[in-house]
A and B are shown apart, each in its own frame.
Chain A
Amino acid sequence: MRPPLSLVVVALLATGCARQEREALDPAKVERGRALFTSCEACHTLRKRENRIGPHLVRIVGRAAGEARRYAYSPALEATDLAWTPENLRRYLQAPQAFMPGTNMAIAGYSPADAESLVEFLRSKQ
């Protein structure tokens, strides 16, 4: 029996989508980031494309900002054409309001070392 065409297409796309080799991650930072991320989980999930108080963070590193489907972003996030590169994420996590005035993410911000660890953890979940 021939498999449905759609399955063939998906499989080809998937296997063709060779994962880039992950850059080396710093395990200590990943684990520190994992511990810090428990605080983020009040508002965000990494496991599903499900928006909570904040947008989902599935494959957030490299994602275009303001792109989680059906999430009601602040006008600031709606308007930006920023991508969440590791550097942008680090700067945002250190001082959300300074980096993106008008953002709804009200946290005071993380220290540079903790922001670095959080981004490292997010990269490990890519």
Chain B
Amino acid sequence: MMHQPPLSRRTVLMGALAAATPLPLRPASFLDPRKDGLPDTLDTDLCIVGAGAAGITLALNLAGAPLQVLMLESGGMDLEGETQGLYRGLHLGLPYFDLTACRLRYFGGTTNHWGGYCRPNDPIDYQGRPELGVPAWPIGHDDIAPYLRQAMADLGLDEAAFDPATQFRLHGHSPDRLAERRSDQIMTKVFQLSQRVRFREIHRRHLEDQANLRVLLHANLTHIALDETGRRVRQLTVRTLDGRQTIVRARRVVLACHAIENARLLLLSDDVMREGIGNAHGHVGRNFMEHARIFSGVMIPARDTFPALYDSGLTGSLNVNTNLSLTETAMRKHGVMEYYCRFVPPDLHEDMRANLGRLRDGFWQPFDPGLFEDIADVLGDLPEAVAAVMDKYRQTQADAPYYVLDHRIEQAPNPLSRIVLSRERDALGLRRADLHWALSDLDYATFAKGCATVAREVAAMGWGRFQLEEITPDLIQSRVKGHYHHMGTTRMSANSKAGVVDADLRVHGVENLFVAGSSVFPTAGYGGPTMTLVALAIRLAEHLKGLGNA
């Protein structure tokens, strides 16, 4: 039997308001079933499942549309261990980050710890590589460009600043020193670090004031019920961890829960379509992709020749990254995906610099005994302290004694890299999602050939000499990490045989179910996923507005 919470004053008030104003506009609300109770059913035009980067962007871009929007969020406004624990899952393939630490399951989602790295994909990233078995996106660079521009504006980024020549000029360096002016194999690709990353703080007020929006917290989607034809979502079952339940009836539904959870929800709802929703061709949960990364080898720079703006220690402090990457020519010539190399200065004074940094933040905790230990450490080795400070300010000369090479690749789609439903069940009784992260021969080749190309070209320019290891599959498997970028488990495709959603992000064969987020990416691309998924959410909002209430 469903637990019936006592009626609060707010519940009564909201009920009265709902009764008095049938559908039209009323103040937006954040409702928490734990305090406000939960009706047996909720009707809405559009239900967005998940209040992270994609869901929040979608909701914001539907402000003013003649649609009632209900956004479900599994968590509350802050981190809660019990809710976060719903993400627990095993690693069945390569070692990976703990899944409970990858995505954040409360309002704002993973933007609550997003690093803010942004860059649009390159045109080649959308085009597919038939010779490598890599699919094209059903939309191209030109289709997504206007939405990327809006995403850049929302994230406080300057489109012109993605141009490496602009970055070089901005920081007092001649663009003549750019690698691409001397080689047709390698080029500079710029990431900007957005400073507008915490969607909870930035957008909460707007969403509270959004007249056509209700946000339901602590509300977990546990089942997507299709009608008997399997072509339409009939209703959603939504439950709280304290035992409440409601049925959401929505004209349209958008899953915006991130790559693992989107796929998990589609696979779990297998009562009408036995293989899971949208999974007639077996793509749901497959092609899980990351931007894989290893550290290997060093470069000893030639004195006064290695451009300072390739020193990632310096660029990080400028809120930008300028990475040496492959040109399209090189990618096609070597038959590999996107690759970049960052040159990371060794932090030779890491502990001392941390001590010095803590003297500053310790100012606010003057009675913390640890502060005195920090002071003692600094006073105990003043020459080291001076060297640490000097080093920090000399970085602009790009004269680190050596650079550690940080290699990153665009992982190619690989059906064996996937999420799998576990036999273990979570606190809601749902099967957990385990991750089988796997790399392919193409990924190993991208690491090895990418590294070799950058090393050869940089050495030929006289910028430094390299001490490299042989980058073998064993070496990669023993060191590889990701970037917390989860992509590809419900990929976009022009036809239903090749993917899960169409170019409008609608699940193939289901007329009122959409998916937002980086799970729809057919390939990982060069850029970080967040700005692209924000752009796609803006595009989806426009599409949904066009559909109206039909």
> Bound pair: A and B?
yes
CB under 8 Å from chain B, chain A span 96-124: 96-97, 102-108
Of the candidate stretches A25-33, A40-48, A82-90, the one touching chain B is A40-48
Q: Is the CB of A69 within 8 A of B365?
A: yes
Are A59 and B373 in contact, CB atoms less than 8 angstroms apart? yes
Known: A104-B81, A106-B81. A53 touches B104 (CB 8 A): yes
Does B382 count as interface, using CB distance less than 8 angstroms?
no
Query: Of A13, A15, A106, which one neighbours B84 at CB under 8 angstroms?
Result: A106
B365 near A15 with CB under 8 A, answer no
Tell me if A80 counts as interface (CB < 8 A to partner B).
Answer: no
Interface residues of B in 367-409 (CB under 8 A from A): 368-370, 372-373, 375-377, 379-380
Judged by a CB distance under 8 angstroms, whether B142 is at the interface is: no
Q: Which of A40-63 contact B (CB under 8 A)?
A: 40, 42-43, 46-50, 52-53, 58-59, 63
Residue of A nearest to B83 (CB): A106
B143: interface (CB < 8 Å): no
Query: Does B80 sit at the interface, judged by CB under 8 A?
Result: yes
Report A29 CB to chain B, min CB distance, Å.
18
- Chain B residues within an 8 Å CB radius of A102: 81
Interfacial chain B residues near A46, Cβ < 8 Å: 354
Task: Decide if B163 is an interface residue (CB 8 Å cutoff).
Answer: no
A residues touching B (Cβ–Cβ < 8 Å)? Answer: 10-11, 13-15, 17-19, 38-40, 42-43, 46-50, 52-53, 58-59, 63, 69, 72, 74, 96-97, 102-108, 125-126
Residues of chain A with a CB closer than 8 A to B369's CB: 17
A96 vs B98: C-alpha distance when bound (angstroms): 13
In whole angstroms, how far apart are the Cα atoms of A63 and B185 in the complex? Answer: 52
Number of A-B contacts (CB under 8 A): 90
Known: A14-B372, A69-B365. A74 touches B101 (CB 8 A): no
Report Cα–Cα, A97/B81, bound state, in Å.
Answer: 9
Tell me which residues across on chain A come within 8 A of B85, comparing CB atoms: 97, 106
Q: Which of B101, B361, B373, B484 contacts A19 (CB 8 A)?
A: B373
Chain B residue numbers with a CB within 8 Å of A108 are: 88, 98, 100
A interface secondary structure, majority? loop
Q: Closest residue of chain B to A59, judged by CB?
A: B370
With contact pairs A42-B102, A105-B81 given, residues A58 and B97 touching in the complex (Cβ less than 8 Å) = no
Measured CA separation A11–B97 after assembly (Å): 42
> In the complex the two chains form, is A48's CB within 8 Å of B358's CB?
yes
Residues of B within 8 A of A (CB): 78-82, 84-85, 87-88, 97-98, 100-102, 104, 112-113, 351, 354, 357-358, 361-362, 364-365, 368-370, 372-373, 375-377, 379-380, 481, 484
- Contact pick for B81, options A19, A50, A72, A74, CB 8 Å: A74
B113 touches A43 (CB 8 A): yes
**A104 and B106 alpha carbons, distance in the complex (Å):** 12
Contact B81 A103 (CB under 8 A): yes
A40 to B80, CA, bound (A): 17
A72 to B80, CA, bound (A): 11
* Minimum CB distance partner of A102 in chain B: B81
Report 18 cross-chain contacts, Cβ distance below 8 Å, ordered by A residue: A10-B375, A11-B375, A14-B375, A14-B379, A17-B376, A42-B97, A43-B101, A43-B113, A48-B358, A49-B362, A49-B368, A74-B80, A104-B80, A106-B82, A106-B101, A107-B101, A108-B98, A125-B351
Q: Is the CB of A106 within 8 A of B88?
A: yes
- In angstroms, Cα B482 to Cα A38, docked, is 11
Q: Which of B112, B113, B370, B379 contacts A11 (CB 8 A)?
A: B379
Most buried by B among A40, A46, A97, A107: A107
Chain A nearest Cβ from B121, distance in angstroms: 24
- Taking CB atoms, residues of chain B closer than 8 Å to A10 are 375
The minimal Cβ–Cβ distance linking A45 to chain B, given in whole angstroms, is 10
Chain B positions within 8 Å of A107 at CB level: 98, 100-101
Contacting residues, chain B, for A38 (C-beta < 8 A): 481
Query: In the complex, what residues of B have CB within 8 A of residue A15's CB?
Result: 376, 379
Inter-chain contact B365/A104, CB cutoff 8 Å: no
Q: Which chain A positions have C-beta within 8 A of B81?
A: 74, 96-97, 102-106
B387 nearest CB across to chain A (Å)? 18
User: Knowing that A14-B376, A19-B373, A59-B373 are A-B contacts, what are 13 other residue pairs whose CB atoms are under 8 Å apart, sorted by A's residue number?
Assistant: A10-B375, A18-B376, A19-B377, A42-B484, A43-B113, A47-B357, A48-B358, A50-B361, A69-B365, A97-B85, A104-B79, A106-B87, A106-B101
